[in-house]
């Protein structure tokens, strides 16, 4: 009919659990947009979705596993990576993705994060970093910038944060990037690269949390936080991630930082365990 447009299914509907909508995320939250980039990245790679498994921990971004229509596991706080390690090693045909938050992955799960990177386990870790614990109401976390306010740093944060790309790169990750939700194209492309590269690949996604972090630090609404990212981000592909620290103010370096090849844990297993079978 003239003047009307036929609505067709969105090509990424296939990857989402429509029966679970609406989702739990607040208005202005960046987890949803990062999931949108993620499912587009899956679409872009053409990976067999029957062979993708997503594991999440606990927290706002820990709920991602529940909305993506693949085999998906919502586990315990901080433990998505070791759960995913078991999945990946017991069935190397799986593409195992961990999608979780900065507090989950880098504080309570920090030990698992560094060891999975060291082992170069075949796994893509997507870390949504909103600089605080959102689900519990806005406490300081391992990425909260110095001086930032939170419900547990009412005078300002005195607890120096991790620079996550530097941390995982130093531990041996094969691929490390950082983008924000205002870089959807770069983010989607980077996620697709991470999904298709062997070994431990890590994508940090910076995004707003207007309900807690944004409110306490007077950053305005979600859209105002996005504007701040637009002003502060400097695309710096290939930069040494040690230089990518994030402060309360000042530039935020984003880009694809590390892309290298080293044997994965499974490569070593095949080679070394093979000695036992030849006996």
Partner 1 sequence: MMSVDGLMEGEFFMNGDDACAEGAIAAGCRFFAGYPITPATEVAERMSRRLPEVGGVYIQMEDEIASMNAILGASWAGVKSMTSTSGPGFSLMMENLGLGIMLETPCVLVNIQRAGPSTGIPTLIGQGDMMQARWGSHGHYEIIAVVPDSPQEMFDLTITAFNLSEQFRIPVLIMSDEVVGHMSEKVVMRQVAPEDLVTRPRPAVPPEEYSPYLSGDDLVPPMAVAGEGYRFHVTGLTHDERGYPVMTAEAQDKLVRRLVDKIRLNKKHILRMEEVGLDDAEIVVCAYGITSRVAKRAVQLARQEGIRAGLLRLIVVWPFPEERVRELAAQAGAFIVPEINYGQIVLEVERCAAGRARSILLPHMGGGVHHPETILEAIREAAV
- Tell me, by CB under 8 A, how many residues bind partner 1: 43
Nearer to partner 1, 69 or 215 (CB): 69
Nearer to partner 1, 73 or 232 (CB): 73
Convert residues 59-98 into a mask of x (bound to partner 1 by CB under 8 A) and - (unbound): ------xx--xxxxxxxx--x-xxxxxxxxxxx-xx----
Q: Are 35 and 29 in contact (CB under 8 A)?
A: no
Q: Are 70 and 46 in contact (CB under 8 A)?
A: no
Residue 17 Ramachandran class (φ > 0 left, ψ -120 to 50 alpha, else beta): beta
φ, ψ for residue 213, nearest 5 deg: -60, -45
Give the gyration radius of the chain's Cα atoms: 19
Nearer to partner 1, 71 or 147 (CB): 71
Residue 269 engages partner 1 in binding (rule: CB under 8 A): yes
Nearer to partner 1, 87 or 126 (CB): 87
State in angstroms the smallest separation of the CB of 40 from partner 1.
Answer: 18
Nearer to partner 1, 94 or 168 (CB): 94
Residue 9 engages partner 1 in binding (rule: CB under 8 A): no
**Strands 95-101 and 52-56, bridge-based pairing:** parallel
Instruction: Find the binder of partner 1 among 112, 166, 178, 183 (CB under 8 A).
Output: 112
Convert residues 211-250 into a mask of x (bound to partner 1 by CB under 8 A) and - (unbound): ----------------------------------------
State in angstroms the smallest separation of the CB of 60 from partner 1.
Answer: 14
State in angstroms the smallest separation of the CB of 122 from partner 1.
Answer: 13
State in angstroms the smallest separation of the CB of 160 from partner 1.
Answer: 23
Residue 275 engages partner 1 in binding (rule: CB under 8 A): yes
State in angstroms the smallest separation of the CB of 140 from partner 1.
Answer: 23
State in angstroms the smallest separation of the CB of 63 from partner 1.
Answer: 8
Q: Are 175 and 192 in contact (CB under 8 A)?
A: no
Nearer to partner 1, 29 or 121 (CB): 121
Q: Which residues of this chain interact with partner 1, rule CB under 8 A?
A: 17, 20, 49-51, 53, 55, 65-66, 69-76, 79, 81-91, 93-94, 111-112, 115, 265, 269, 272-277, 279
């Amino acid at each position: 009919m003239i003047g009307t447009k036929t609505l067709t299914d969105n090509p990424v509907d296939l990857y989402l659990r429509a029966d679970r909508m609406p989702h739990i995320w607040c208005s202005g939250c960046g987890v949803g947009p990062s999931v949108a980039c993620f499912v587009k990245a899956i679409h872009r790679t053409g990976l067999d979705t029957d062979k993708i498994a997503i594991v999440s921990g606990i927290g706002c971004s820990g709920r991602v596993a529940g909305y993506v229509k693949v085999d998906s596991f919502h586990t315990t706080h901080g433990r998505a990576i070791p759960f995913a390690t078991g999945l990946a090693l017991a069935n190397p045909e799986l593409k195992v993705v961990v999608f979780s938050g900065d507090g989950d992955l880098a504080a309570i799960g920090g030990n698992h994060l560094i060891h999975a990177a060291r082992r170069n386990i075949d796994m893509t870790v997507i870390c949504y970093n909103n600089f605080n614990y959102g689900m519990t109401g806005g406490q300081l976390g391992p990425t909260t910038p110095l001086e930032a306010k939170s419900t547990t740093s009412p005078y300002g944060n005195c607890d120096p944060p991790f620079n996550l790309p530097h941390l995982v790169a130093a531990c041996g990750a094969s691929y490390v990037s950082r983008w924000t939700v205002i870089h959807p194209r770069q983010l989607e492309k980077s996620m697709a690269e991470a999904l298709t590269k062997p070994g431990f690949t890590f994508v940090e996604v910076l995004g707003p949390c207007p309900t807690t972090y944004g409110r306490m630090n007077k950053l305005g609404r979600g859209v105002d936080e996005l504007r701040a990212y637009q002003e502060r981000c400097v695309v710096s592909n290939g930069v040494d991630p040690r230089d990518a620290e994030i402060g309360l103010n000042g530039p935020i370096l984003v880009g694809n930082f590390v892309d290298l090849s080293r044997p994965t844990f499974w490569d070593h297993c095949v080679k070394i365990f093979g000695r036992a079978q030849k006996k």
